[in-house]
Amino acid sequence: MAMIQNDWLESISEEFKKPYYQQLYKFIREEYNTRVIYPPADDIFNALHLTPLSEVKVLILGQDPYHNEHQAHGLSFSVLPEQKDLPPSLQNIYKELQDDLGCYIPNNGYLEKWAKQGVLLLNTVLTVRAHQANSHQGKGWEQFTDAIIQAVNAQDRPIVYMLWGRPAQSKIPMLTNPKHLILKAPHPSPLSAYRGFFGCKHFSQANAFLEENGVMPIDWQIENL
């Protein structure tokens, strides 16, 4: 697990000392030593590496990393560049982006460009066994990622939350900062996208809010590779 080097450390370093995290670390280390786990261990904290706390403008909250090969790399909803079969939820995110902002649908699902602009692509659970969805739920990651969300909530500047689906929206009681905007919609998965994710216009709403508050908006277009 590559250690965090940037300004996140100040906000969450206390978590590493807590008993739950020490148990989690032990569990995760054993899992990586004995099973196939995604993402690769060095990618677990990519969302934090790529988006320093001081640069967060938008938080998109996912649940569990993708659990198939060449997909998960530490950013929620994103897959590695060589993965040409895009997960259905990501396909639906691209459809909504096209309808909302006129973005063309790219040939890849690599969302690093968003992360580098201040979009924190955070999953509530940061690891998973190959081909076993939710296999690392309830092991301690949720407590750790709640600490990350609380650190974002404490930031005294405009920030947008995109909360898709009930698990993401269960975090709303933690989001108490009046300077922040909370956007809610059903999850983009094929099971629920037609119940209000399509047409939610979260991307244009986020940019309008950032611009109104004097913050550079996000360029949401992922380019073809």
Q: Tell me the pLDDT of the chain averaged across its residues.
A: 97
| Model pLDDT for residues 174-224, shown as the tens digit of each residue | 999 999 999 999 999 999 999 999 999 999 999 999 999 999 999 999 999
Q: Are 74 and 45 in contact (CB under 8 A)?
A: yes
| Model pLDDT for residues 68-119, shown as the tens digit of each residue | 998 999 999 999 999 989 999 999 999 999 999 999 999 999 999 999 999 9
Here the tokens at position 123 are 């999953």
Q: Are 13 and 6 in contact (CB under 8 A)?
A: no
d(CA 25, CA 214): 40
Q: How confident is the model at residue 1 (pLDDT cuts 50, 70, 90)?
A: low
Provide the pLDDT for residue 84: 86
- Catalytic-residue membership of 99: no
The mean pLDDT of 24-48, rounded to a whole number, is: 97
Provide the pLDDT for residue 168: 98
Closest CA to 53 of 3, 1, 120, 121: 120
With a pLDDT cut of 70, the percent of the chain lying above it is 99
Catalytic residue among 7, 42, 43, 64: 64
The mean pLDDT of 5-24, rounded to a whole number, is: 95
Which residues, 6+ apart, have CB-to-CB distance to 5 below 8 Å?
A: 49
Provide the pLDDT for residue 138: 97
Bigger pLDDT: 4 or 35? Answer: 35
Answer whether residue 25 shows pLDDT above 70. Answer: yes
